[in-house]
Amino acid sequence: MFRSVPSALDADGNAGNDLTRYTDDESRQQRWGSIIDKIEVNFAESVNEDERPMVQFQKATASSTTDDYFSALSAPGMASHFQPAARFGRSCSTFSRRKLTEWIQLQKMNTSRDISDRKKYFERSVRILHSLVLKMIIAIVKAGKTEMVVAVHPDIITSENIMVHHSAEDGETAHFIQSESMDGSSLDGLATKYCAMKALGMVAYELLMMGDGHPVSFFLPSVPSDIGGTHLQLSICGIGECIGAEAHERNQADAKAPRTAVDKTQGRITNVMLNSGVPYPLCRFVVDLLGEDCSDGLLLRSDNSFASFSDILSDLKQMINNPEAFIHLSVRDQWRLAFGNKMHGRESEKKMIMDAASRTTGTTSNDALFEALSLLLPQNKRQIVMVSGKPGSGKSRLVMEAKTDLENKGWIFLSCKFDRIVHAEPLSVMASAFDEFLEQCLGSSRQPQISTNLKTLMLPNDVSILTTHVPCLVKYLDGPPGPVAGVEVSKEEMHQLFHQLLHVLSVAGQPIAFFADDLQWADAASIDLFVALSEASEPVLSRTHCDTHTKSKIMLIGSYRDDEVHSDHLLADTLRQLKSRNSSFEVTDIAVRGFSLETLNQIVSESLCLPLRRTKFLTEIILQKTDGIVIHIIELIGRLTMDRILCHSFVKGWEWDSEVIEGYPISDSVAELFVFKLNKLPLYALRALQICSIFGTQIEQRVISFVQDFDGEQSVDIIAGLKDALALGLIEMTDTTNVFKFAHDIIAQAAFDLISDDERSVLLRKLASALIRNASAANEIDRIIFVAVDLVNRIKNDVVTDPEERVLYACMNEKAGKKALAVPDFSSAVKYSESGLAFLDVCHWNTHHELTMSLHQTSVAALYSCPHGNRELLKERIEAVFRRSKTLDEEFKTRHVWIRVLSTTSLEEAIEACHALLERLEEPIDLSKYSSSHLYSELVRAKDLFSEKRQQFSMMSPMADLNKRNAMKIMSSLIIYYHQQSSNFAGLVSSRMVETTIKYGYCEESVFAVASFAATIVRVLGDIDEGSSWARMALSLLTRFRHNVNALLPAVYAAVYGLVLILTEPIQASQKDNFNMEWISHRLTIYNLSATLSPLLRGCSLAFDYGSIQFAVGNAEVVNVLLGEIDVLAHKCAQHCQLPAVERVFAPLHHVLRDLKGLDQQALAPLGYVYDTSVLQDSAYGKKDLHNLDTQLMIHIAHAFMLGDMKKVQSLAEMFEDLITKKHFVFNCVIIEFYAGLAACQFARETLEKGWEDKAEQVRESMEKMCSHSKWNFENKYLLIRAECHYTKGNINAAAECYESSIISARNHKLVHEEAVACELAGNFFREQGDKSKSHTMFGGAHKAYMNWGAVKKAKTLPQA
């Protein structure tokens, strides 16, 4: 085939004799193909001018794709490149075929010396070889494994026996002209395979050389032919006889020379191909097929030779998929090791993130009908994705890959990263995610939309609070934010504000993903906020905004190092709690482990631009040394290149010595991998990185400017050093925030570890001194206070001996502690206050009394509020304050905290302490003179007296007397403790507070005093109208405390709405502006109890004391929603040490709701066990604990009635009446009375006893009175008890009318569970009357209503079911 003259014909001009031996149809087509082509061409040239357009030529041009394989007509005998139109009676098929030898010559004539043309030729050749291999092999299963075996006889694998077919569908493919299948009966499988590979190598050589140069046989050894002369040792005929002799000869040669030694023609095939312009990867491919340069390709194949056809296909596939890397070696900077942007081996993990995103948005299908119907399904669980793994395993990279897909789907993505070393300002890391996102949005179309949302979705005061944490918000406001000094913000309120800000950023209702990286280093406040971003209540839009039903779609993503999060870690405890909330949260755990061998080999192969088979052994070594951890792999390969163990040749690519790499040492420490690289930096650059590492994984430029002169004249140029590190990729710099960041926190750790222990303390002191000095001079010390304090607290106490310096550091901690307490971040406040005290000693009580006292007070406040605070340390600090206080004012805050601590163990002791403190404040309350009758009379007198002066409240001035304000605080606590004891003394204390307000002016506690007095008027005196007036007065007073309305709201709302307005206002009213004050309406709707019980979420202990749980039971929320709310609230209780509330209130409600739904009983998560509700009930009854008993009785009496257990209803009602000596107008009591009245009617009809009928009539009168106060809440109840009374008395027509009216009223007022009860009782009534049709309709309505409510078990018990 190799000829000096490039022609398709032989020297005589004939087509040659090769085809004469074939007799099949395909051979004839091949033989006559060129003649037919000539005829077609001549015919096309002879057509008339008007016919010529009907002939469609297909000319290949320079701009054609690689699939446009044929060039223009250039010589006779070539295949035609036109398609006759239909008028010539031919099909317009683009199919053509040609023998491989002819195809090579044709391409040689039409391929220019242009590099792009040659590249296309090589790429086409690779595809032809790939298709040819597929024709050579078949897949068989041996011992459960699939193997590729040769399917054709090696002797027919020649270029003369290969046809190249071209079609528009498949492109160019190779086929055998003559096929001879293998039977394998007497042939050695290994020899057959290698013979086939060698034959394929000869075909590949000829194809890639385009027929030029010496044939491949010129380079291969020859053996004597059995027919005379010599021939190539290719045929497997007789190979069995010669294989033994050849093996013996080769073994003897091996004994005399090294394994790698070959004859002097070694490498000639490769050199010849390279000189002809064949890319080195293709040269290597051919040589590996032949077995080795100049070898026989059978017995003595090199280690790099192909061992299987799977490897051959893999090589070819890589060349096809990435020709620039695996054929041409022309990828950009391919001599540099880079792992690129492609993610390997994490497809399943990434899919888990995307699946969680789909569950968040509820769009798990492309079916529009399904998505429309999904809106009717229960709300999706809140999604949290937690990614865990070792340092450097690729956790962050995985999430960033998902980020790209999420943003392409319209998601908003916010991210932040925590630091091992520095704990900055509380919540600042979480807030930085918002700040960076807002910076990116400046100048975009999103900016005006965010500005509009800030005005419509948030109150100005709330925005002002957030600007202290998210400074970029100021750029979205029309003017400067309002002052926030002195504003107290609870933890729950801060969570709510950040949640609202997320809603603001979602300008078009876009879903939001919030990613917190390295959560193992997050503080408690940040972890709480992270979880709260998903669970906080939805913000309610202002009336000027139309979309009032938009729900935030938020997915949280967190990552952490699992080897640093043990069972007692704060994050581990949080994760356990999240996973136990199976009704509210769905946590997706993704464990990122080291790469598998297959995945790692793919990475190394693509990085080195070498075939998978060539890199496999290297990959095995790397895997053994790195466990497949990404950062280990990158740094190990980087060190191998720096040590010239892994070298690059511009011709051959990457080369290495596997034995040297196997013995190459590597540390188990990830950080130590970078030490080698860092030590090669200039000293000033290394010092700059060490200084930055002291501040953590990132540092602001302004902080660098403050510490630039940390060592006087010996200071290094930090910025210059960082620029060198920036060029090496060790650090990065963000354009928007002017922050230097380490490329990976492991690099920061490595730089930090290079500082010796002795040097570290000295360096910390120098940096802290420079930072404090220069920031103070620039009047920016408050802005970097937490950075400075972190440096200070890492200095060993015994190192600082200067008294003035110790006092300075204590002052810094005192300031940081107060700021942390204001966030609030109680854990950080404790840390700072205790660190400050560590710099002081006993004598400082005398020399720096105020500083020492302030640190003690901060510690006391933080320890008390911290859920897991050290109680022993708290008592120690309280006692120190009591001993060292000089005035009552100085002692008061700590004394108040001590009273709260006492209340958790003994209400009596707490009440006694309150009265003792009131005496010291000159506001004593002597309750010993009040009997029950005297107490009632005093309350009536106070109501009449204060009602006349109620209008004076609008003209009052603030309370100026500090003692009076402190007394009001103590009396507020006293009200709570008396209420917990079910004592009416709470009402007397509230009247005293109102009296103090009238005399001395108003304060924050005055709002609670008025709200409590309103509740007393209703509960004790039974004056609902007067109580409602006082309740509205309490709400109006909130306008005077806009700066601190959120701290007051839970207690005021619990009293006003939980005990008073629930009797007069619609129970589902959520957006009524009763007082014409938009900001009040907005705030109240955010914490609407009827929907979410938010005051319990925000002020657990106070709201529980008022029994606000009845609002959940009394409203028409569906069972699924209630179960979810109870689950959340129970966890909030546990966090605030309120397990008794879980036991007495939430556990019974949880038990009843699960029973109504038909679910098996299970423990409420914080308790860990199922409570016997009857034991709790008997316990409360025995203690005469009306405060908890009325709630439990209300729950169980409603449950018993719905299940038809009238004897239990009677028993519970009698228990209630035995405790209640005087009627209490509390919603719980009204509900108990209502169900007791319905049961009385049934007993009256069964027993015909007049007493039951009289009791039912009393309830009817009571419901009628309640209906006069609130038709919305009580009309349906009044109509239903009236219907039952008519039924009892035999007034059939009146009863039927009242039943239907009650059903309509319950439905109109959205009381779905009471609609179900009314329908069921009506069904019983009509069934007794013999009206089967009406009865059937009523039972059907009851079944539907119960199902809508979620009471599946109850619905199934109905006759209709």
CA distance 568 to 1104: 30
Q: Which long-range contacts (CB under 8 A, 24 or more apart) does 1267-1271 make?
A: 1269/1024, 1269/1025, 1269/1063, 1269/1064, 1270/1063, 1270/1064, 1270/1065, 1270/1066
Residue whose C-alpha is closest to residue 515's, from 575, 574, 557, 559: 557
Both tokens of 1010, joined, read 């008025």
Contact 855, 813 (CB under 8 A): yes
CA angle 1044, 1045, 1051 (to 5 degrees): 115
Q: What is the mean pLDDT of residues 44-73?
A: 38
In 105-213, DSSP assigns E strands to 137-142, 145-150, 162-167, 171-176
Q: What is the mean pLDDT of residues 519-541?
A: 75
Question: Which strand ranges, in their side-by-side order, compose the sheet holding 162-167?
Answer: 96-99, 162-167, 171-176
- Chain mean position to CA 465: 26
Specify the higher pLDDT residue, 1223 or 1236.
1236
Specify the higher pLDDT residue, 423 or 53.
423
Q: What is the pLDDT of residue 533?
A: 87
Q: What is the mean pLDDT of residues 244-269?
A: 43
The confidence band for 1353, taking pLDDT boundaries of 50, 70 and 90, is confident
Intra-chain end-to-end CA distance of the chain, in Å: 88
- Judge whether residue 223 has pLDDT over 50: no
CA distance 1159 to 1162: 9
What is the crossing angle of helices 888-903 and 907-920, to 10°? 160
Q: What is the pLDDT of residue 1145?
A: 67
| DSSP letter assigned to residue 765 | H
Q: Which long-range contacts (CB under 8 A, 24 or more apart) does 1066-1072 make?
A: 1066/1270, 1066/1272, 1066/1273, 1066/1309, 1067/1111, 1067/1114, 1067/1115, 1067/1116, 1067/1272, 1067/1273, 1067/1311, 1068/1115, 1068/1116, 1068/1309, 1068/1310, 1069/1272, 1070/540, 1071/540, 1071/543, 1071/548
Q: What is the pLDDT of residue 366?
A: 47
Residue whose C-alpha is closest to residue 200's, from 269, 135, 263, 293: 135
What does the pLDDT look like over 364-382, one tens digit per residue? 544 444 444 444 444 457 8
Q: Characterize the bridge pairing of strands 554-561 and 585-592.
A: unpaired
Residues with Cβ < 8 Å from 370, sequence gap 6 or more? Answer: none
Q: Which helix (H) or strand (E) holds 385?
A: strand 382-389
Q: What is the pLDDT of residue 757?
A: 84
When the pLDDT of each residue in the chain is averaged and rounded to a whole number, the result is 77
- Judge whether residue 228 has pLDDT over 50: no
Both tokens of 725, joined, read 């590190």
Specify the higher pLDDT residue, 30 or 154.
154
What does the pLDDT look like over 765-800, one tens digit per residue? 999 999 999 999 999 888 888 899 999 988 877 788
- Judge whether residue 1027 has pLDDT over 60: yes
Q: What is the mean pLDDT of residues 1335-1358?
A: 90
- Judge whether residue 82 has pLDDT over 80: no
The confidence band for 71, taking pLDDT boundaries of 50, 70 and 90, is very low
**With the CA atoms of 836, 841, 847 and 852 taken in that order, what torsion angle do they form, in degrees rounded to the nearest 10?**
40
Q: What is the mean pLDDT of residues 864-889?
A: 88
Q: What is the mean pLDDT of residues 1179-1201?
A: 69
Residue whose C-alpha is closest to residue 209's, from 197, 201, 221: 201
DSSP 44-94: HHHS-TTTGGGEEE----TTS-TT-------STTSPP-EEE-GGGT-----
Q: What is the pLDDT of residue 488?
A: 66
Q: Characterize the bridge pairing of strands 585-592 and 653-656.
A: unpaired
| DSSP letter assigned to residue 156 | G
| Least confident stretch, 684-698, 885-899, 908-922, 1151-1165 | 1151-1165
What does the pLDDT look like over 156-212, one tens digit per residue? 999 999 999 988 888 899 999 887 665 544 345 777 888 899 999 999 999 999 988
Q: What is the pLDDT of residue 50?
A: 41
Percent of the chain with pLDDT over 90: 29
Among positive and negative, which fits the CA dihedral 194, 199, 204, 205? positive
Q: What is the pLDDT of residue 836?
A: 93
| 3-state class (DSSP) for residue 789 | helix
Q: Which helix (H) or strand (E) holds 653?
A: strand 653-656
